[in-house]
C-alpha cells in the first residue's frame, strides 16, 4: 500500500506538465487558483492521475480538494479502499 | 460581501453579450406560428433550434385532446399524486408509454428533468455508485447528487474507460448504476450501446439509458437507441421526456423490473410536486398515438437531417457527429459564434448558440435541431444562410480574437 510520502513525488511528476515553466509545485499549491487550470484542464489532470494510480476519484469528493496535499490525501484514502 | 455579490461575474458576462445587441440566452419568441416558424424582433424566422423533432406541437389530434381535457378536467391538479390522488388520465398515460415500450412498468413525472432526478435519486443512494458519461445532461448530474450515491465520471463514449472504472470498483460493481444517453444533446452523437451492454453484463451492473433526444428519432418504432441497437431487454431502465418528439411537457421512466413500480413511494421529485396537468397528459397521449400511426414522420426527419447535414458539410462546416437530427457546427471561439448566431437571426434563421461551460470539450456550437415539419425549401434557406456567413467569418472578427486555444476558455 502506497503511503502519502510515496504518493507525493509521483503526484508532483504527474502535475508538472500542467504547470508553467519555472513554477515550483508544493504541497500547499492550490490546484485551480495557482495553476490557473480551467474546468477542461482539471478534467484532463484528474484522468491522468486516476490512470496513474489506478483509482477513480468520485465527483462528490472534488469540492474538498483544493491543494496538492488534499489531492495526495484523497489518493491515499482511495488506495486504502 | 452579500449573497448577491456572487452574481457579479454573471452580470458582467451578460452585459458583454448585451453590447452585441441581442442576448442569445434571453430571447423572446414574440409569436409562434408553427412547429418551424416564429416571429423574433418583428421578423418571420425559421426555427431550427427547438428539439421539435417530429414537428407535432400543432397536431390537431393533440390540440383537440388537450382542449377537451382542459374543459372536462380543469386547468391543473393542484397537488401531488401521493397526496391528492392520481387522475385516471395519469394512469392511462403511464399505460400508454409502457405499452409503447412493451414494458410492464412506467412512472410519469411532471418534467423530463424531474424524471432523471426522480429515477436516479431513487435507484442509487448512499453506499451505491453511479458511473456517468462525462457529457451527461445536467439533469443526470443533479439526479445523481440528489440520491447521495458516489458519482464517478467516465470518458465520453469510451467503453474501455468505463470498463476500467468498473474493474476498479471490484465487488461494488454489483451496486453500480451506469447512466448513458441515446443521443447526446449538444453534438448529436450516440452512446456505443451494444458494447456498453456487454460491459454492464460482465460486471453485473445496472444500466439506464436516457432516450430524451432519441425517442421518436431512432429505432423501427421510434423507441430510441436501445431499440435501434436491439438491446432493449438488456437495458434495466429507460428515462425520457415528453417535451421533444412528443411536443408537450413531462417525463417518464420505464422498466421490466417489478421493483421499479416502488420508486413512486420513495422518489422525492415524484412525491413533492404537482402532478402533470390534465390537458398536457391528454395531448401527450394523443401524440403517442400519432407517432405510432405515422412512422413516415421519422423517415421525413431523417431525409431532412441528411439534407441539412450535406448542405452544411458542402459549405465547409465541421459538424459534431454523424448524420442525425442534431447537427452542431463547431465554431472556433465565442466571439465568432455569437457574431454568426446574430447574423443567422437577422437572416431569419434561429439556431441554438451553445458555449462553454454548457458544451463538451469547451466547444462553441451553432446547434441545429432538424424537424420532420421542415420543408425542403426551409432546409435550403437554412443551408443558404449558413453559406452566407462566410463574410462574417472573414471580416467581423479580428485575428486577435481567434486564439489557438480559444476552445479551452
Task: Give the distance from CA A5 to its chain's centroid.
Answer: 14
Which residue does chain A place closest to B166, by CA atoms? A56
- Strand pairing of B237-241 and B206-210? parallel
Q: Do A47 and B362 touch (CB under 8 A)?
A: no
Given CB atoms, is B151 within the 8 Å cutoff of chain A? yes
Q: How many CA atoms lie within 13 A of B20 on its CB side?
A: 22
**Is residue B385 helix, strand or coil?**
helix
> Mind listing the pLDDT tens digit for each residue in B47-91?
999 999 999 999 999 999 999 999 999 999 999 999 999 999 999
Element (H, E) at B61: helix B60-73
User: At residue B1, does pLDDT exceed 90?
Assistant: no
**pLDDT value at B393 more than 50:** yes
B209-232 tens-digit pLDDT: 999 999 999 999 999 999 999 999
Contacts of B157 (CB under 8 A, 6+ apart): B133, B135, B189, B191, B192
Active site residue B381: no
Out of A40, A55, A57, closest to residue B408 by CB: A40
CA distance readout (Å), B126 to A77, B130, B371:
18, 10, 41
| H/E element, A72 | helix A68-80
Q: Do A40 and B150 touch (CB under 8 A)?
A: no
Q: Domains of chain A (ranges plus CATH)?
A: 4-80 (1.10.1200.10)
Tell me how close the Cα of A61 comes to any Cα of chain B, in angstroms. 9
> Mean pLDDT throughout B169-177?
97
pLDDT at B17: 81
CA distance B164 to A51: 9
Domains of chain B: 3-34+295-408 (3.90.1150.10), 60-293 (3.40.640.10)
Specify the range with the lowest mean pLDDT, choosing from B222-226, B317-321, B359-363.
B359-363
Decide if B185 is catalytic: yes
B153 → closest Cβ in A38, A41, A59: A59
**pLDDT at residue B394, as a whole number:** 55
- In chain B, the percentage of residues whose pLDDT exceeds 90 is 86
Chain A contact present for B165, CB below 8 A: yes
B136 included as an active-site residue: no
CB contact under 8 A, B168 and A39: no
- Name the 3-class secondary structure at B72: helix
With contacts defined as CB-CB under 8 Å, which chain B residues touch A60? 145, 150-151
Amino acid at each position: 500500500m502506497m503511503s502519502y510520502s510515496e504518493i507525493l513525488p509521483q503526484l508532483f511528476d504527474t502535475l508538472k506538465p500542467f504547470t508553467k515553466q519555472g513554477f515550483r509545485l508544493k504541497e500547499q499549491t492550490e490546484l485551480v487558483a495557482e495553476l490557473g487550470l480551467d474546468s477542461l484542464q482539471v478534467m484532463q489532470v484528474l484522468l491522468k492521475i486516476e490512470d496513474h494510480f489506478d483509482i477513480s476519484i468520485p465527483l462528490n469528493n472534488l469540492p474538498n480538494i483544493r491543494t496538492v496535499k488534499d489531492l495526495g490525501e484523497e489518493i491515499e484514502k482511495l488506495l486504502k479502499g | 460581501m452579500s449573497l448577491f455579490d456572487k452574481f457579479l461575474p454573471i452580470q458582467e458576462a451578460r452585459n458583454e453579450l448585451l453590447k452585441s445587441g441581442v442576448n442569445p440566452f434571453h430571447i423572446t419568441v414574440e409569436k409562434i406560428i408553427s412547429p418551424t416558424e416564429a416571429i423574433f424582433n418583428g421578423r418571420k424566422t425559421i426555427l431550427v433550434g427547438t428539439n421539435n423533432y417530429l414537428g407535432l406541437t400543432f397536431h390537431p389530434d393533440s390540440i383537440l385532446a388537450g382542449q377537451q381535457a382542459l374543459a372536462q378536467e380543469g386547468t391543473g391538479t393542484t397537488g401531488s399524486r401521493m397526496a391528492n390522488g392520481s387522475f385516471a388520465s395519469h394512469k392511462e398515460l403511464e399505460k400508454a408509454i409502457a405499452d409503447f415500450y412493451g414494458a410492464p412498468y412506467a412512472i410519469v413525472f411532471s418534467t423530463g428533468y424531474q424524471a432523471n432526478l426522480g429515477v436516479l435519486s431513487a435507484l442509487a443512494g448512499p453506499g451505491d455508485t453511479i458511473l456517468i458519461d462525462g457529457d451527461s445532461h445536467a439533469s443526470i448530474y443533479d439526479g445523481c447528487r440528489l440520491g447521495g450515491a458516489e458519482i464517478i465520471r467516465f470518458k465520453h463514449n469510451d467503453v474501455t474507460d468505463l470498463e476500467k472504472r468498473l474493474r476498479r470498483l471490484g465487488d461494488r460493481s454489483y451496486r453500480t448504476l451506469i447512466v448513458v444517453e441515446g443521443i447526446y444533446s449538444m453534438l448529436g452523437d450516440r452512446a456505443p450501446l451494444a458494447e456498453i451492454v456487454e460491459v454492464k453484463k460482465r460486471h453485473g451492473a445496472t444500466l439506464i439509458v436516457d432516450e430524451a433526444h432519441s425517442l421518436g428519432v431512432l429505432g423501427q418504432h421510434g423507441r430510441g437507441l436501445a431499440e435501434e441497437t436491439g438491446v432493449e431487454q438488456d437495458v434495466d431502465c429507460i428515462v425520457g421526456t415528453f417535451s421533444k418528439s412528443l411536443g408537450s411537457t413531462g417525463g417518464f421512466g420505464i422498466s421490466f423490473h417489478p421493483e421499479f413500480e416502488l420508486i413512486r413511494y420513495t422518489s422525492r421529485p415524484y412525491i413533492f410536486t404537482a402532478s402533470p396537468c390534465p390537458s398536457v397528459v391528454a395531448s401527450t397521449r394523443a401524440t403517442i398515438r400519432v407517432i405510432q400511426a405515422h412512422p413516415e414522420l421519422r423517415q421525413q426527419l431523417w431525409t431532412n437531417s441528411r439534407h441539412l447535414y450535406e448542405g452544411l458539410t458542402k459549405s465547409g462546416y465541421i459538424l459534431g457527429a454523424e448524420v442525425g437530427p442534431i447537427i452542431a457546427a463547431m465554431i472556433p471561439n465565442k466571439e465568432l459564434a455569437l457574431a454568426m448566431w446574430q447574423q443567422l437571426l437577422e437572416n431569419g434563421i434561429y439556431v441554438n448558440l451553445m458555449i462553454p461551460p454548457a458544451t463538451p470539450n469547451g466547444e462553441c456550437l451553432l446547434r441545429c435541431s432538424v424537424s420532420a415539419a421542415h420543408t425542403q425549401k426551409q432546409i435550403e434557406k437554412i443551408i443558404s444562410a449558413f453559406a452566407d456567413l462566410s463574410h462574417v467569418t472573414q471580416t467581423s472578427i479580428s485575428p486577435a480574437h481567434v486564439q489557438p486555444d480559444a476552445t479551452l476558455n
